[in-house]
Amino acid sequence: MTADARTYLLRAALILKANAYPLILPAILGVLLYLPAGSDESPPTFFVMSLMILFVLLPVIYGQYIELIVHNRPNSYFQIFRTHWLNYFVVSLILGMPILILSLLGHVFGLPFWGLIKILSVFIDILSIYIFPLVFLTRKHLACIPLGIKCLFGNLNFSLPLVMLAVVPSLFNLFSPEVSDTTVLSLPMFALNYLFWIVSLLIDFVIFVAAALILKEKLLQP
């Protein structure tokens, strides 16, 4: 057994390099997501595109990499969506509920919860390192949450490279401006945000594929 997960991160990077085509569409949509626009257009576009990427694109791309890992071949995106979407949505909703509640309370009471929400987001990103790969590998939902957390804390030293890498996109997010009703992104700011988006996207999928490889070989082997 390897000392930690670095070997799996390297294998995941090689898989992504050899099968980069699923990432083309979200990379293109990222241009629209951060494209400089007037303040009356930017926030709705950001909201709609974010939901589309989160709840439509990500589950089918995750599922496609699971197909490559488990079956060594791609599958149709329609079939992947039918198989995994509901489980993914249920788990995403549960994990995102604390942030949704905190955001709602901040809006209702006018309290500045921005910093706390950022910290909570980092914590949830770390907790979910093994949860989402389990969702796709086992085709289950609720049972994957406690099992994923158990896998993380039961093998924390081994998983430390994954944890450290999971924090990087959140650090990027700290330096990105909040998109609000008065946001007008300049071209340099767009370029910076888009760079953060691409790097964060790659990191997210490297972690997902590495975690899936670990689970497949060390937990789900018959």
pLDDT at 46 over 60: yes
Provide the mean pLDDT of the chain. 84
Indicate the pLDDT class of residue 2, thresholds 50, 70 and 90.
low
Task: Give the residue with greater pLDDT, 11 vs 48.
Answer: 11
Q: Is a pLDDT exceeding 70 seen at residue 39?
A: no
pLDDT greater than 90 at residue 50: no
Digit-coded pLDDT (tens) for 152-208: 999 999 999 999 999 988 777 666 655 443 445 567 777 777 888 889 899 999 999
Q: What is the pTM of this model?
A: 0.88
User: Which pLDDT band, with edges at 50, 70 and 90, does 34 fall under?
Assistant: low
- Which pLDDT score, from 0 to 100, does residue 11 have? 95
The confidence score (pLDDT) of residue 43 equals 52
Segment 60-103, tens digit of pLDDT: 999 999 999 999 999 999 999 999 999 999 999 999 898 888 88
- pLDDT score at 108: 75
User: What are the DSSP calls for the chain, one per residue?
Assistant: --SSTHHHHHHHHHHHHHT-GGGHHHHHHHHHHH----TTTHHHHHHHHHHHIIIIIHHHHHHHHHHHHHHSS---HHHHHHHHHHHHHHHHHHHHHHHHHHHHHHHHHT---HHHHHHHHHHHHHHTTTHHHHHHHH--STTHHHHHHHHHHHTHHHHHHHHHHHHHHHHHHHTSPPP-TT----HHHHHHHHHHHHHHHHHHHHHHHHHHHHHHHHTS--
Where is pLDDT greater, at 139 or 110?
139
Report pLDDT for 68.
94
121-151 pLDDT tens trace: 889 999 999 999 999 999 999 999 999 999 9
